[in-house]
């Protein structure tokens, strides 16, 4: 076996570059909440500008490579793009009302929701121990939310937005799995970026957010967000997930809360209580147990149930 690959517990070949790419992607996602705090715009307005810029940049890139955007591409990426659009709108709204740590630790429950759907619709086996780990993770996330440090501006609205983003984030991964084999990673990425922009532009106007031309400083952070969390996040992850088993990609999303919390502490001065830090560790360890449990039984998905 070459140095470029290892073998997962499932027996599948795992590309080392795919693993590195997934780690880069989740690190970029973990930093996105901190970056959004520097932008003097509403959460949905940030999402709208970010993905419109991201879509236009990807369109130019694909055009230069001779790839056309087709109706089929947009049709097959529709539901994943809409789910991501809702997720992004809710997440960036959440971090405007609550701490980055709270918003991202709730999102860490995504593998649990994906596992439930995978069992029901993809025939993946979930053992009682995995259900137990998922329950522990849920309790840990609740403890994190309820024990936010007093010095950090938080309110229940932001926490509710974070929970909504969790469900939309899980849906995005599920629809992405369904699109595999029908679209390439780049095709799915640009298609979903289009639908995120289509979703968030009208939502921003509907909720009365200021969509006027951003300031020079806001543009700087928007571009960092679009090309950082966008290209370094979504584009690389969509490529990586085709090189590695899905459960490994899901596992790596557990790095998002520690990255977000640490970067918020460094760059924003957000505080973490001792209880929150312990609860965050519990969530990460419990979710790691869920995904490790799925891998250890050599899960091989059965055909999609109708």
Condensed to tens digits (0 to 9), the pLDDT of residues 67-116 reads 888 999 999 999 999 999 999 888 878 877 877 777 777 887 888 787 77
Q: 146: how many CB neighbours lie within 10 A of its CB?
A: 12
The answer to the question of residue 56 being in a domain is yes
What percent of the chain is predicted at pLDDT more than 70? 82
First to last CA, the chain: 38
Distances (CA, A) of 70 to 39, 77, 187, 202: 33, 11, 9, 23
User: How many CB atoms are closer than 10 A to CB 99?
Assistant: 31
Banded pLDDT at 131 (limits 50, 70, 90):
confident
Question: What predicted TM-score, i.e. pTM, was given to this entire model?
Answer: 0.76
Q: How many CB atoms lie within 10 A of CB 141?
A: 27
pLDDT exceeds 60 at position 280: yes
Q: How many structural domains does the chain have?
A: 1
* 82 within some domain: yes
Task: Using pLDDT thresholds of 50, 70 and 90, give the confidence band for residue 10.
Answer: very low
Residue 92: CB partners within 8 Å, gap ≥ 6? 33, 36, 43, 44, 46, 47
Largest CA distance in the chain: 57
Structural domain containing residue 230: 22-296
Do the domain assignments include residue 114?
yes
Q: Mean per-residue pLDDT for 298-305?
A: 49
Q: Per the domain annotation, does 228 fall within a domain?
A: yes
Closest C-alpha to 286, from 109, 106, 137: 137
Q: Is residue 305 part of a domain?
A: no
Whether 62 has a pLDDT exceeding 80, the answer reads yes
């Amino acid at each position: 076996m070459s140095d470029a690959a290892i073998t997962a517990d499932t027996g599948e070949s795992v590309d080392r570059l795919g693993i590195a790419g997934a780690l880069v992607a989740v690190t970029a996602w973990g930093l996105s909440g901190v970056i959004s705090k520097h932008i003097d715009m509403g959460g949905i307005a940030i999402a709208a500008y970010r993905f419109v810029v991201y879509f236009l940049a990807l369109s130019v890139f694909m055009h230069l490579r001779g790839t056309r955007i087709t109706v089929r591409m947009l049709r097959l990426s529709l539901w994943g793009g809409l789910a991501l659009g809702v997720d992004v709108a809710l997440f960036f709204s959440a971090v405007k009302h609550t701490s980055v740590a709270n918003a991202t630790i709730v999102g860490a429950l995504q593998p649990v929701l994906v596992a439930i759907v995978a069992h029901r619709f993809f025939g993946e086996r979930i053992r009682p121990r995995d259900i137990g780990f998922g329950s522990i993770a849920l309790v840990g996330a609740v403890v994190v939310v309820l024990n936010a440090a007093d010095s950090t501006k938080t309110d229940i609205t932001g926490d509710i937005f974070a929970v909504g983003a969790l469900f939309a984030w899980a849906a995005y991964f599920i629809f992405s799995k369904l699109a595999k084999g029908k679209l390439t990673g780049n095709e799915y990425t640009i298609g979903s970026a289009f639908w995120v922009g289509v979703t968030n532009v009208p939502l921003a106007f509907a909720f009365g957010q200021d969509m006027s031309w951003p300031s020079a400083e806001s543009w700087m952070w928007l571009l960092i967000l679009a090309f950082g969390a966008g290209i370094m996040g979504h584009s690389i992850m969509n490529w990586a997930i085709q090189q590695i088993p899905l459960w490994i990609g899901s596992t790596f999303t557990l790095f998002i809360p520690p990255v977000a919390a640490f970067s918020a502490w460094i760059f924003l001065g957000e505080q973490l209580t001792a209880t929150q830090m312990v609860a965050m560790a519990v969530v990460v360890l419990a979710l790691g147990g869920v995904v490790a449990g799925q891998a250890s039984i050599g899960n091989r998905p059965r055909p999609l149930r109708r």
